[in-house]
Homo-oligomer: A and B are copies of this chain.
Amino acid sequence: MTTMKAAQKRAQAKVEYNAFLAGCPSRQLLDRISDKWVVLILCALGGDNSPGQPGAAQAVAPKAMRYSEISRLLAGVSQKMLTQTLRSLEHDGLLTRTVTPTVPVTVSYELTELGLSLHHMTRGLRNWAQAHMAEVLANRETYDSRTS
């Protein structure tokens, strides 16, 4: 990484982000997006936040949301973390922040195209978690009974 000829550098520039290397920017990016609040915010803005009508195919349409809406949906997030996470996502160009100077000012957040592409991943994560919950729970019990 430190000693490298220009030709190699050029060849690497396109492909050679290796998230396993601690210093690699893609590793830092992975660190940032492998965060529970990031995943949840992406899911929320991505649109798979319908109140859970069972059986109804969830309408998965990206949707702009206000700060308070997100705050309400992501039960348990502290305001500090929410603001902080939203800022970093805006910083990375994953979402846009729009201030509307209404009575009390309203702020709305919306995924960019880039954010939308990441949303496909986080959506998969969330669905995985919900789909395999039972299995994991069963595994935990098996594990605990084996070791107790």
Contacts and interface: CB of A to CB of B under 8 A. Distances in A.
Interface of A: 1, 8, 11-12, 14-23, 25-27, 29-31, 33-36, 38-40, 43-44, 49, 51-52, 54-55, 73-76, 90-94, 114, 117-118, 120-121, 124-126, 128-130, 132-133, 135-140, 142-143
Contacts of A25: 133, 137
A142 to B, nearest CB: 7
A93 B34 contact: no
A92 B133 CA distance: 10
A22 B72 CA distance: 11
B43 A12 contact: no
A26 B44 CA distance: 15
Contact of A19 (B126, B142, B143): B126
Given A29-B133, A124-B124, A92 B140 contact: yes
Given A52-B1, A125-B121, A19 B130 contact: yes
A63 to B, nearest CB: 14
A22 B75 contact: yes
Given A114-B135, A129-B33, A40 B19 contact: yes
